[in-house]
Amino acid sequence: MLAGFAFGGSGCEIVEGFLVAVNIQGLVGQYVIPPTGILQDLCTEFITPDDYLDSDFSDEINDVQIYDIRIKTEGAYNGTVSGEIRAMRDDLLNPQVVLTFSGSWEDFKTPQSWLQARAGNPSHISPQDGAIAFLINAIRERRPLRICADISASPLPVPAGLAVTAEVFGQVRVAP
Protein backbone atom coordinates (compact mmCIF):
# COMPACT_ATOMS: atom_id res chain seq x y z
CA MET A 1 0.00 0.00 0.00
CA LEU A 2 2.85 2.40 0.81
CA ALA A 3 4.30 1.74 -2.62
CA GLY A 4 1.00 2.81 -4.14
CA PHE A 5 1.18 6.16 -2.33
CA ALA A 6 4.84 6.64 -3.16
CA PHE A 7 4.55 5.88 -6.87
CA GLY A 8 0.91 6.32 -7.71
CA GLY A 9 0.31 9.55 -5.85
CA SER A 10 -2.28 10.16 -3.24
CA GLY A 11 -4.06 13.04 -4.86
CA CYS A 12 -3.27 15.33 -1.92
CA GLU A 13 -2.78 18.99 -2.53
CA ILE A 14 -2.03 21.82 -0.14
CA VAL A 15 -4.69 24.45 -0.60
CA GLU A 16 -4.25 26.41 2.62
CA GLY A 17 -1.26 28.53 3.53
CA PHE A 18 1.04 27.53 6.34
CA LEU A 19 2.88 29.38 9.07
CA VAL A 20 6.57 29.39 9.86
CA ALA A 21 8.06 30.23 13.26
CA VAL A 22 10.89 32.75 12.89
CA ASN A 23 13.16 33.77 15.75
CA ILE A 24 13.31 37.43 16.68
CA GLN A 25 16.96 38.48 16.54
CA GLY A 26 18.81 41.65 17.30
CA LEU A 27 16.58 43.12 20.01
CA VAL A 28 19.64 43.69 22.17
CA GLY A 29 21.00 46.62 24.10
CA GLN A 30 24.58 46.60 25.36
CA TYR A 31 25.56 49.38 27.74
CA VAL A 32 29.15 50.22 28.67
CA ILE A 33 29.34 51.41 32.27
CA PRO A 34 31.22 54.73 32.58
CA PRO A 35 33.83 55.40 35.30
CA THR A 36 31.19 57.34 37.28
CA GLY A 37 29.21 54.10 37.66
CA ILE A 38 26.00 55.81 36.51
CA LEU A 39 24.41 55.51 33.12
CA GLN A 40 21.15 57.39 32.56
CA ASP A 41 18.63 57.20 29.75
CA LEU A 42 20.94 55.56 27.24
CA CYS A 43 19.09 54.01 24.29
CA THR A 44 20.11 51.93 21.32
CA GLU A 45 19.48 53.31 17.86
CA PHE A 46 16.07 52.30 16.57
CA ILE A 47 16.12 48.61 15.67
CA THR A 48 13.98 48.20 12.56
CA PRO A 49 11.78 45.20 11.76
CA ASP A 50 14.25 44.26 9.01
CA ASP A 51 16.91 44.05 11.74
CA TYR A 52 14.92 41.88 14.14
CA LEU A 53 12.85 39.85 11.64
CA ASP A 54 13.97 37.86 8.61
CA SER A 55 13.05 40.01 5.60
CA ASP A 56 12.45 36.91 3.43
CA PHE A 57 9.04 36.49 5.03
CA SER A 58 5.86 38.41 4.28
CA ASP A 59 4.79 41.43 6.24
CA GLU A 60 1.83 39.54 7.67
CA ILE A 61 2.65 38.47 11.21
CA ASN A 62 0.08 36.02 12.54
CA ASP A 63 1.37 35.63 16.11
CA VAL A 64 4.14 36.97 18.34
CA GLN A 65 5.59 35.25 21.38
CA ILE A 66 8.16 36.74 23.75
CA TYR A 67 9.65 33.85 25.69
CA ASP A 68 12.40 35.54 27.70
CA ILE A 69 14.29 38.72 28.44
CA ARG A 70 17.76 38.30 29.95
CA ILE A 71 20.20 40.62 31.68
CA LYS A 72 23.89 39.77 31.97
CA THR A 73 27.08 41.55 33.01
CA GLU A 74 30.46 41.47 31.31
CA GLY A 75 33.82 42.23 32.89
CA ALA A 76 35.35 41.68 36.32
CA TYR A 77 33.97 43.83 39.15
CA ASN A 78 33.46 43.27 42.86
CA GLY A 79 30.39 45.44 43.33
CA THR A 80 26.67 45.74 42.78
CA VAL A 81 24.55 46.72 39.82
CA SER A 82 20.96 47.88 39.55
CA GLY A 83 18.83 49.48 36.91
CA GLU A 84 15.82 49.65 34.70
CA ILE A 85 15.37 48.42 31.12
CA ARG A 86 12.76 50.12 28.90
CA ALA A 87 11.47 49.61 25.37
CA MET A 88 10.47 52.51 23.14
CA ARG A 89 8.49 52.52 19.90
CA ASP A 90 9.30 54.99 17.14
CA ASP A 91 5.77 56.41 17.24
CA LEU A 92 5.48 56.98 21.00
CA LEU A 93 7.30 59.50 23.17
CA ASN A 94 7.39 57.58 26.44
CA PRO A 95 9.24 54.29 26.80
CA GLN A 96 7.64 51.34 28.58
CA VAL A 97 9.48 49.92 31.61
CA VAL A 98 10.19 46.26 30.84
CA LEU A 99 11.98 45.24 34.02
CA THR A 100 14.07 46.42 36.93
CA PHE A 101 17.08 44.54 38.25
CA SER A 102 19.40 44.58 41.24
CA GLY A 103 22.13 42.35 42.66
CA SER A 104 25.83 41.76 42.78
CA TRP A 105 27.76 42.13 39.54
CA GLU A 106 28.68 38.47 39.88
CA ASP A 107 24.98 37.44 40.11
CA PHE A 108 24.50 38.66 36.55
CA LYS A 109 27.54 36.86 35.10
CA THR A 110 25.02 34.05 34.65
CA PRO A 111 22.26 35.77 32.68
CA GLN A 112 19.24 36.54 34.84
CA SER A 113 15.95 35.59 33.24
CA TRP A 114 12.63 37.42 33.09
CA LEU A 115 11.00 34.01 32.62
CA GLN A 116 12.49 32.67 35.87
CA ALA A 117 11.25 35.70 37.75
CA ARG A 118 7.72 35.36 36.29
CA ALA A 119 7.67 31.68 37.31
CA GLY A 120 8.45 32.65 40.91
CA ASN A 121 12.00 31.30 40.87
CA PRO A 122 14.78 33.24 42.60
CA SER A 123 15.94 36.01 40.31
CA HIS A 124 17.40 39.48 40.52
CA ILE A 125 14.86 40.75 37.99
CA SER A 126 11.44 42.30 38.64
CA PRO A 127 9.25 42.10 35.52
CA GLN A 128 6.86 45.00 34.97
CA ASP A 129 3.18 44.53 34.13
CA GLY A 130 2.26 45.34 30.55
CA ALA A 131 5.81 45.08 29.20
CA ILE A 132 5.31 41.91 27.19
CA ALA A 133 2.04 43.18 25.67
CA PHE A 134 3.86 46.40 24.72
CA LEU A 135 6.65 44.45 22.96
CA ILE A 136 4.22 42.05 21.26
CA ASN A 137 2.10 44.89 19.90
CA ALA A 138 5.15 46.77 18.62
CA ILE A 139 6.50 43.68 16.84
CA ARG A 140 3.09 42.70 15.45
CA GLU A 141 2.77 46.23 14.03
CA ARG A 142 6.37 46.01 12.70
CA ARG A 143 7.44 49.13 14.60
CA PRO A 144 11.08 50.11 15.06
CA LEU A 145 12.12 49.69 18.71
CA ARG A 146 14.79 51.07 21.01
CA ILE A 147 16.05 49.32 24.13
CA CYS A 148 16.86 51.91 26.81
CA ALA A 149 18.54 51.68 30.21
CA ASP A 150 19.33 53.43 33.46
CA ILE A 151 22.11 51.54 35.23
CA SER A 152 24.08 52.16 38.41
CA ALA A 153 27.16 50.29 39.61
CA SER A 154 28.85 50.76 42.98
CA PRO A 155 31.21 51.15 44.77
CA LEU A 156 33.46 53.56 42.94
CA PRO A 157 35.85 53.46 41.21
CA VAL A 158 34.27 51.37 38.48
CA PRO A 159 36.93 49.70 36.33
CA ALA A 160 36.99 50.16 32.57
CA GLY A 161 35.53 47.49 30.33
CA LEU A 162 32.29 46.76 32.21
CA ALA A 163 29.03 46.30 30.31
CA VAL A 164 25.44 45.22 30.90
CA THR A 165 23.50 43.50 28.11
CA ALA A 166 19.71 43.21 27.83
CA GLU A 167 18.32 40.81 25.22
CA VAL A 168 14.75 39.99 24.15
CA PHE A 169 14.07 36.44 22.95
CA GLY A 170 10.96 35.61 20.97
CA GLN A 171 9.37 34.24 17.82
CA VAL A 172 6.86 35.36 15.25
CA ARG A 173 4.68 33.12 13.15
CA VAL A 174 4.49 34.37 9.59
CA ALA A 175 3.17 33.22 6.24
CA PRO A 176 6.15 32.66 3.94
pLDDT attached to residue 20: 78
pLDDT along the chain (176 residues), means of 10: 47 58 90 96 93 73 90 97 97 93 96 87 87 93 95 96 96 82
Rounded distance, CA 42 to CA 152, Å? Answer: 12
Report in angstroms the alpha-carbon separations of 11 from 5, 8, 15, 18.
9, 9, 12, 19
Residue 57 has what pLDDT?
63
Q: Measured between alpha carbons, how far is 44 from 18 in angstroms, rounded to an integer? A: 34
Of 136, 142, 140, 141, the closest CA to residue 168 belongs to 136
Task: Give the pLDDT of residue 37.
Answer: 96
Q: Where are the domains of the chain?
A: 17-174
- Expressed in angstroms, the distance from the first to the final Cα of the chain is 33
CATH architecture, domain 17-174: Sandwich (2.60)
How far is C-alpha 8 from the geometric centre of its chain's CA atoms?
A: 49
